[in-house]
């Protein structure tokens, strides 16, 4: 009998086969999951235990790293899979779910259940209440909730109220897979474990910071969902603001879940609120149009021909504290960009006196530090060095480190890391309720303004480009510019202009 039962709501969906099952298998492969577990899929699609195992066995192969494709191990893992056909939106079906869980766990698993909500957000407020109705909210249970957690501040407050009435805060794991990436975590080590950079990590030495998370795909089959959400809710309010917090947070006195998450909330509370007067200067919205042999957003399946939903957003944020006063944070996300990349770029200030002059078109440039989360996780530092030969011609060169070159140590999967943390009862890298509310308090006025003012600017940009030109204009007041990686990234990840 299982000592741990992992229940996945939405087990026949895309996220489960692409991310969750490969992540759970990798934990099994690396012996982070012992043999005393069961994975129970719960969804409306009709499967038996055996047919579900066949489905996962077939689909999971497409998303597994080749180094993990061990048929014997996969067969062992698949044997731990079970399935319950049910509609998670129907309360009367949870009694039979409890019976299935009791059968798998027997009398001695002590309610050690991990629930994963891989469902549409409309079910986030129902499933915990239905679990409570049949006594499945045990003291030993935990629940992982995918983003978006709430649609605005009001809905986030209501959702938090539901969860705190069903579970204790330490049982609730609001997941952001960006924080499961090694580079995101290593940003903390980079800052706080090295005496070289942290003394420079402030307004005296940093000019501005960029946070970019873009992809070279459209919305695919997610039109019905995406058109109700948009880029701000889908990416900015959760993913990008988390990365801003990692870059801006103060060092905690000791490193544990509470102190780390306390510092995250302090960053959110320090964001300078934007007023309606600021919106046009601080925010650029865009929507991709046809270009580079790709259709426009309004031609996508399920999208109204007059849709005003943003697929691109760039913002200038300011943090009102001593460390960051006067340092703008530029963030952007978008669909149908030239490439897929997520990175934080720290622009250091120029030297106070430039003694070396431009030569042959090469001018000394301020240093940049690039912390790349994807596609190849790593760190790039730009330096100005002398070109060999006569004179003092300065050229910018890069020092690059890729994590996949770290002595053959596997990078690991972000979902695997976070699910493992949940199994081990470690909430450090998960979002706390007060952080959710603080984030929504900052972004809610923007959403309300767009709702009240449908005529607010929405700029078109051709698919395959870096977004509306207005996003470049937004940065000119600070003499800043976006760092755009080359379209075709290689393993060495050359940048077009460093």
| Pairing status of strand 368-374 against strand 378-386 | antiparallel
| Pairing status of strand 312-318 against strand 283-289 | antiparallel
Give the torsion sign (CA, 224, 306, 471, 149). negative
**CA count, 13 A, side-chain hemisphere, 394:** 15
d(Cα 17, Cα 429) in Å, to the nearest integer?
23
pLDDT category, 375, cuts 50, 70, 90?
A: confident
pLDDT for res 363: 67
Which residue in 341, 292, 332, 331 sits closest to 465, CA to CA? 292
Rg (CA), the chain: 24
pLDDT digits 0-9 by tens, 445-495: 999 999 999 889 999 999 999 999 999 989 887 888 899 875 443 333 444
pLDDT for res 411: 54
pLDDT digits 0-9 by tens, 92-101: 999 999 999 9
* CB 428 within 8 Å of CB 421: yes
Among 122-131, 133-142, 178-187, 254-263, where is mean pLDDT lowest?
178-187
pLDDT digits 0-9 by tens, 259-279: 999 999 999 999 999 988 888
Question: Residue 275: helix, strand or coil by DSSP?
Answer: coil
pLDDT for res 436: 95
pLDDT digits 0-9 by tens, 28-41: 998 888 878 999 99
- 292 as an active site residue: the answer is no
pLDDT digits 0-9 by tens, 221-251: 888 889 999 999 999 999 999 999 999 999 9
* CB 396 within 8 Å of CB 379: no
pLDDT digits 0-9 by tens, 189-201: 888 888 888 889 9
Using the predicted structure, report yes or no on whether residue 108 has a pLDDT greater than 80.
no
What CATH number is given for 4-146 in this structure? 3.40.50.720
Using the predicted structure, report yes or no on whether residue 91 has a pLDDT greater than 50.
yes
pLDDT for res 306: 92
First to last CA, the chain: 57
d(Cα 115, Cα 144) in Å, to the nearest integer?
6
Higher pLDDT, 258 or 491: 258
Using the predicted structure, report yes or no on whether residue 498 has a pLDDT greater than 70.
no
Tell me the average pLDDT of the chain. 88
* CB 115 within 8 Å of CB 419: no
Among 2-6, 328-332, 371-375, where is mean pLDDT lowest?
371-375
Alpha helices in 291-413 (DSSP H): none
Mean pLDDT confidence for 168-181:
89
Element holding 96 (H helix, E strand): helix 94-105
Show me where the domains of the chain are located.
Answer: 4-146, 179-407+432-476
Using the predicted structure, report yes or no on whether residue 109 has a pLDDT greater than 90.
no
**Top-level CATH class of 179-407+432-476?**
alpha beta
Using the predicted structure, report yes or no on whether residue 428 has a pLDDT greater than 80.
yes
Name every residue whose Cβ is closer than 8 Å to that of residue 128 and which is 6 or more positions away in sequence: 137, 143, 162, 163, 166, 167
pLDDT for res 393: 72
pLDDT for res 405: 65
Using the predicted structure, report yes or no on whether residue 156 has a pLDDT greater than 90.
yes
Q: Which of 80, 239, 282, 347 is catalytic?
A: 239
d(Cα 155, Cα 125) in Å, to the nearest integer?
10
Give the torsion sign (CA, 139, 141, 144, 149). negative
């Amino acid at each position: 009998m299982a000592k741990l039962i992992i229940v996945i709501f939405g087990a026949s969906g895309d996220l489960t086969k692409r991310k969750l099952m490969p992540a759970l298998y990798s934990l099994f492969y690396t012996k982070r999951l012992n043999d005393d577990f069961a994975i129970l899929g719960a969804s409306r699609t009709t499967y038996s235990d055996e047919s579900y195992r066949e489905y996962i066995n077939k689909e999971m192969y497409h998303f597994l790293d080749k180094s993990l494709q061990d048929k014997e191990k996969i067969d062992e893992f698949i044997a731990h899979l079970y399935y319950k056909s049910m509609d998670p939106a129907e309360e009367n079906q949870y009694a039979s779910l409890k019976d299935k869980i009791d059968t798998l766990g027997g009398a001695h698993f002590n309610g050690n259940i991990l629930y994963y909500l891989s469902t549409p957000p409309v079910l986030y407020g129902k499933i915990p209440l239905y679990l409570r109705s049949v006594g499945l909210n045990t003291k030993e249970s935990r629940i992982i909730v995918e983003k978006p957690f709430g649609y605005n501040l009001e809905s986030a407050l209501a959702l938090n109220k539901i969860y705190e009435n069903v579970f204790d805060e330490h049982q609730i794991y609001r997941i952001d897979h960006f924080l499961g990436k090694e580079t995101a975590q290593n940003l903390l080590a980079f800052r706080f474990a090295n005496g070289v950079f942290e003394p420079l990590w402030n307004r005296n030495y940093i000019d501005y910071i960029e946070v970019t998370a873009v992809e070279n795909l459209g919305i695919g089959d997610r039109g019905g969902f995406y058109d109700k959400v948009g880029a701000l809710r889908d990416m900015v309010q959760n993913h990008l603001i988390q990365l801003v917090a990692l870059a801006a947070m103060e060092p905690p006195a000791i490193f544990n879940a509470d102190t780390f998450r306390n510092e995250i909330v302090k960053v959110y509370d320090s964001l300078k609120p934007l007023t309606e007067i600021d919106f046009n200067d601080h925010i650029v919205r865009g929507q991709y149009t046809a270009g580079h042999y790709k259709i426009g957003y309004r031609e996508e399946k399920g999208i109204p021909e007059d849709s005003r939903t943003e697929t691109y957003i760039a913002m200038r944020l300011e943090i009102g504290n001593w460390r960051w006063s006067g340092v703008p944070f530029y963030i952007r996300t978008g669909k149908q960009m030239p490439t897929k990349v997520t990175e934080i770029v720290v622009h250091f200030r120029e030297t106070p006196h430039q003694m070396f002059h431009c030569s042959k078109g090469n001018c000394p440039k301020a240093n940049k530090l690039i912390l790349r989360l994807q596609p190849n996780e790593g760190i790039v530092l730009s330096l100005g060095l002398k070109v060999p030969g006569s004179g003092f011609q300065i050229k910018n060169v890069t020092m690059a480190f890729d994590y996949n070159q770290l002595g053959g140590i596997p990078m690991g999967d972000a979902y695997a890391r976070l699910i493992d943390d949940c199994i081990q009862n470690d909430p450090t890298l998960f979002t706390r309720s007060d952080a959710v509310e603080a984030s929504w308090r900052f972004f809610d006025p923007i959403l309300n303004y767009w709702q009240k003012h449908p005529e607010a600017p929405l700029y078109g940009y051709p698919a395959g480009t870096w977004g509306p030109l207005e996003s470049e204009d937004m940065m000119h007041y600070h003499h800043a510019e976006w760092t755009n990686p080359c379209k075709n990234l290689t393993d060495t990840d050359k940048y077009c202009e460093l």
